[in-house]
Structure 1
Amino acid sequence: MTTSVDAPASAGLRSYDASAILSMLPHRWPFLLIDGAFDVDPGRSGKGVKNVSLAEPYFAGHFPGDPIVPGVLIIEALAQLTAIVYVAQAQESGHPAPASTVGYLGAINRVKFHRVVRPGERLDLAVTLTTALGDLRTVDIAAHVGREKVVTGTITVSNRAGER
């Protein structure tokens, strides 16, 4: 599989284009917030990209005349990348319905926003799964535009779908 970005996966790592991501996640427009994933080490870490378009529906109200990506949606994009890392692990173990392994965002911890993101920018995403405690996992998150930090912090996710 290939990504929608010009970043080849390193040896032993996986890449996923938009089509593959649609098969991995239950999210759909307008809440599918990741365009490609690469350097995915299943169950451990991954990188991704969100190409921010002026056509994003949230720009109509956030904010007219001064559009910026809502910070909570950047966090959601990072959570979706985390789900891809989980699903990649499920695929490797032969799970019959990988998208059913997508859990829930449980907490947003120690997150700092460093700059705003505007239409036309490419948001680079990175996640590393860290501490596990039962069905919960902490994840170190980071997002950048070019070399500029956008978001850093930690989120907590569940590693199972539970009741919907």
Structure 2
Amino acid sequence: MPDLLSFDADRIRAMLPHRWPMLLLDRAFDVDPGRSGSGIKNVTVSEPFFAGHFPAQSVMPGVLLIESMAQLVAVIYGAQHPQDGSGGAAERVGYLGAIRQMKFSRLVVPGDQLLLHARLGTKFGALTEVSVRASVGSEIAAKGSLIVSERPGADAA
């Protein structure tokens, strides 16, 4: 079995170009670089999106659930590249290319802890298909697949 890696919030910030309020991953663990991993997103009532989504019943937007899973994918991908002080993995983080068969089956509300899972699959040139899942406890909140890209010219870095 490969050595699995863990990343706290400070290491995630060093790996990803995202910053508040768009950094949506608190911890990554059981990361098999370039293959799979798990992560945590703690959902708090002070999240800025709850002010308008929805004021009478706070619900985490589905697009942000997808973004949190995509950020985990970026950590899994970035974990295979050493942090050498020149930007490392943050320079390689690409873009979300497609969302496929995403199903939302549970509302995510303040106080929930999202457990995220991602497994990289088939690669098509610069695109990779990834199976993703977000759950709260034993209940699946969202599940589907993403197509992600690596940043153009990343191999030249």
Q: Please state which band the TM-score falls in when normalised by the shorter chain.
A: over 0.9
Of stretches 58-67 and 94-103 in structure 1, the one that deviates more from structure 2 is 94-103
CA contact (8 A) 2:2 2:32 kept: no
For residue 4 of structure 1, what is the aligned residue in structure 2? none
For residue 28 of structure 1, what is the aligned residue in structure 2? 19
User: Is it true that 1:129 corresponds to 2:111 in the alignment?
Assistant: no
User: Is it true that 1:48 corresponds to 2:39 in the alignment?
Assistant: yes
Q: Which runs of 5+ in 2 are unaligned?
A: none
CA contact (8 A) 1:142 1:152 kept: yes
CA contact (8 A) 2:38 2:118 kept: yes
Question: Secondary structure of 2:120's partner?
Answer: strand
Runs of 4+ more than 6 Å apart: none
Determine the C-alpha separation between the residues in 2 that align with 1:148 and 1:43: 27
CA contact (8 A) 1:36 1:48 kept: yes
Structure 1 residues 34-56: Cα deviation after superposition (integer angstroms, max 9, x where no partner): 00000000000010000000000
Percent of paired sites with the same residue: 52
Among 90, 101, 123, the alignment partner of 1:99 is 90
Question: Secondary structure of 1:103's partner?
Answer: strand
User: Is it true that 1:120 corresponds to 2:131 in the alignment?
Assistant: no
Question: Secondary structure of 2:94's partner?
Answer: coil
CA contact (8 A) 2:96 2:148 kept: yes
Determine the C-alpha separation between the residues in 1 that align with 2:151 and 2:63: 22
Question: Secondary structure of 2:98's partner?
Answer: strand
Structure 1 residues 100-148: Cα deviation after superposition (integer angstroms, max 9, x where no partner): 0100000000100011100011000000000100000000000000000
Q: Which runs of 5+ in 1 are unaligned?
A: 1-9
Determine the C-alpha separation between the residues in 2 that align with 1:48 and 1:158: 20
Displacement after TM superposition at 1:160 (Å): 2.3
CA RMSD of aligned residues (A): 1.8
CA contact (8 A) 2:93 2:150 kept: yes
Displacement after TM superposition at 1:65 (Å): 1.4
Determine the C-alpha separation between the residues in 2 that align with 1:30 and 1:137: 26
How many equivalent pairs are there? 153
Give, as a single letter, the amino acid of the residue that structure 2 aligns with 1:88.
A
Determine the C-alpha separation between the residues in 1 that align with 2:85 and 2:79: 10
Determine the C-alpha separation between the residues in 2 that align with 1:83 and 1:50: 15
CA contact (8 A) 1:104 1:161 kept: no
